[in-house]
Chains A and B, each alone.
Chain A
Amino acid sequence: MSQPLSILQCNDVTVEFDGFKAIQGMSLTLAKGELRFLIGPNGAGKTTMLDVICGKVRPSTGQVTFNGDIDITRKKEHQIAELGIGRKFQAPSIFPSMTVLENLEIALRQRRGVFATLFARLQAEEQKRMKRQLEMIGLADQEDSRAGGLSHGEKQWLEIGMMLLQEPDILLLDEPVAGMTDKETDKTGELLQEIARERSIVVVEHDMEFVRSFASKVTVMHEGKLLKEGTMEDVQRDDRVAEVYLGKRRDADASRSTA
Chain B
Amino acid sequence: MDVFILQLFNGISVSSILLLIALGLAITFGLMKVINMAHGELIMIGAYSTYLTQNLFHAYMPSSWFNWYFVISIPASFLIAFLFGLLLEVSLIRHLYGRPLDSLLATWGVGLLLQQLARSVFGAPNVAVTSPSWLNGGMRILSDVVLPYKRLFIVGLVAACLIAMYFYIYRSLEGRRMRAVMQNRDMAACLGVSTRRVDAMTFAIGSGIAGIAGCALTLMGPIGPSLGTYYIVDAFMVVVLGGVGKLVGTVLGALGIGVFNTMFEYWTNASLGKVLVFLCIVAFLQWRPSGFVAMRTRSLD
Contact = CB atoms under 8 A, between A and B. Distances in A.
A85 B296 CA distance: 25
A244 to B, nearest CB: 22
A123 to B, nearest CB: 31
Interface in B14-56: none
Interface in A12-70: 17-18, 47-48, 51
B98 to A, nearest CB: 14
Contacts of A93: 300
A89 interface: yes
Contacts, number: 8
A91 B296 contact: no
Contacts of A48: 298
Range for the number of chain A residues in contact with chain B = under 10
B300 A18 contact: no
Contact of B296 (A17, A47, A51): A17
A47 B298 contact: yes
B296 A89 contact: no
A89 B300 contact: yes
Chain B contact residues: helix, strand, loop or mixed: loop
Interface string A84-104: 000001010100000000000
A48 B296 CA distance: 13
A93 B296 CA distance: 20
B300 A91 contact: yes
A153 B31 CA distance: 33
Interface string B287-301: 000000000101010
Interface residues of B, number: 3
B91 to A, nearest CB: 29
B290 to A, nearest CB: 13
Interface string B192-214: 00000000000000000000000
B93 to A, nearest CB: 25
A51 B296 CA distance: 14
A136 B37 CA distance: 50
Contacts of A51: 298
Contacts of A47: 298
A18 B296 CA distance: 8
Nearest to A93: B300
A81 to B, nearest CB: 14
B187 to A, nearest CB: 15
A17 B297 CA distance: 9
A182 B238 CA distance: 52
Nearest to B299: A91
B296 to A, nearest CB: 6
B109 to A, nearest CB: 25
A48 B298 CA distance: 9
A51 B297 CA distance: 13
A172 B37 CA distance: 42
A91 B300 CA distance: 9
B224 to A, nearest CB: 43
Nearest to B297: A17
Nearest to B294: A18
Interface string A116-140: 0000000000000000000000000
A51 B298 CA distance: 9
Contacts of A18: 296
Contacts of A17: 296
Nearest to A51: B298
B41 to A, nearest CB: 34
A59 to B, nearest CB: 15
Contacts of B300: 89, 91, 93
A93 B300 CA distance: 9
Interface of A: 17-18, 47-48, 51, 89, 91, 93
List the 8 closest pairs (A to B, CB-CB), nearest first. Answer: A89-B300, A17-B296, A93-B300, A18-B296, A47-B298, A91-B300, A48-B298, A51-B298
8 contacts: A17-B296, A18-B296, A47-B298, A48-B298, A51-B298, A89-B300, A91-B300, A93-B300
Given A47-B298, A51-B298, A91-B300, 5 more contacts: A17-B296, A18-B296, A48-B298, A89-B300, A93-B300
